[in-house]
A and B are shown apart, each in its own frame.
Chain A
């Protein structure tokens, strides 16, 4: 990014090639709408391009990129949703253990990985936004808890609890899918 800031256009190509897949999947899973994800995807990269001259190294580039994406998605969410994100409700996972797994439980223990992956995607889609975001940032951005906290603008402990709750739910949902 520093090279691109200093005028090396080819450096941007490398950045784009490296991060476009993860960023697109992050937005796609968050929006669950391909058209919206494409729009957000373009918007994030345009924001990055416009912010080129003022870029300074304050964190990993991945953190910076996903912070832009997070902000963009928050704007989109607020614009298109009448329900505000209530993180306190979302993060209240006291009753995780009692969550019913209403999906079809496979009887065959030798389910192939493809079906397991499909099941995982369903579980991810069912997560609250904040927890889903934490999990996606970990998976697509390869971020640590601190970096997730930076990218989403929350405290480290908040990010950690979101991630933990997401993992508990996903593990629980996949219990019978081994």
Chain B
């Protein structure tokens, strides 16, 4: 035990201490520096601090930790916000039934209510919240044929007078309308297609224009696009009313085909041919097995 203690003291260097010598030395050593040495030294210390500004490295060293912490916090918060935004877009519940079966397939007799339900669900999100503007043109280049169809269908509908020609496809009214073709894709794509942003509509319109009139001179087209872009901007600034965004068949989603036909006839009688045609195409989409009257075909 005593040996271990001595070894430990040796390791720490305490073996070189002698309590008696320590005590004697403390009793003997009382000299202090003369008082006249203090003022010049203290004055020099103050001068050094006051005269010489802190060096850049000293300042950097001083702020190193706070700046690092702030940077980490900023990056973390940015990442969290970014991830939550991205995740939120993906998490937006787009119901699975929104993926309707292809129109070419013969519908089963019991499939009609499900189809009506699915179409209602696809139309609900767009009325509740329009899709945010898309960041890139990745999806634009993905399906030019679909965009062409979209542009064709949009061009066939009468839009507000301020937006005409190729740019007419960018009207919010047409953008809010459901896609006429049954959609095959992911729920997010369905949502984006159901409510395309104005930028998409412009792109779709241009592509559609290119497809329908390939021989059109580029210079003329570009000169025609400038006022269209202006009118498009005005159209984007004037927000459509709730009534404008509702489809013609609003309220008839649960009604039987007979009611739809009556409504189409009524629109025709009122001279609203475009709306009647639009509703008729929707009717065909919803009830492909239902025979149309002769005058409606």
Which residues of A does B touch, CB under 8 Å? 4-9, 12-13, 16, 20-21, 24-25, 28, 38, 41-42, 45-46, 49-50, 52-53, 113-114, 116-118, 120-121, 124, 138-140, 144-146, 160, 163-164, 167, 170-171, 174
Contact = CB atoms under 8 A, between A and B. Distances in A.
B16 A139 contact: no
Given A41-B37, A42-B37, A120-B25, A9 B50 contact: yes
A144 B15 CA distance: 11
A139 B22 contact: yes
Contact of A118 (B28, B33, B49): B28
A117 B46 CA distance: 38
A41 B33 contact: yes
A167 B22 CA distance: 11
B218 to A, nearest CB: 67
Contact of A38 (B29, B34, B50, B55): B34
Contacts of A38: 33-34, 37
B239 interface: no
Contacts of A50: 48
A16 B21 contact: no
Contact of A53 (B34, B41, B52): B52
Nearest 3 A/B pairs, CB to CB? A117-B28, A145-B13, A24-B33
Contact of A6 (B15, B26, B40, B62): B62
B49 A4 contact: yes
Given A16-B42, A45-B41, A46-B44, A7 B54 contact: yes
Contact of B24 (A25, A120, A144): A120
B107 interface: no
Given A4-B45, A42-B40, A53-B52, A24 B21 contact: no
B17 to A, nearest CB: 7
A163 B14 CA distance: 11
B8 to A, nearest CB: 13
B34 A5 contact: no
Nearest to A139: B25
A163 B25 contact: no
A7 B54 CA distance: 7
Contacts of A13: 42, 45
Contacts of A24: 31-33
Contacts of B17: 138, 167
Given A45-B41, A53-B58, A174 B20 contact: yes
A170 B21 CA distance: 8
A9 B27 CA distance: 33
A42 B41 contact: yes
B18 interface: yes
A121 to B, nearest CB: 5
Given A12-B42, A170-B18, A120 B31 contact: no
Contacts of B25: 117, 120, 124, 139
B23 to A, nearest CB: 8
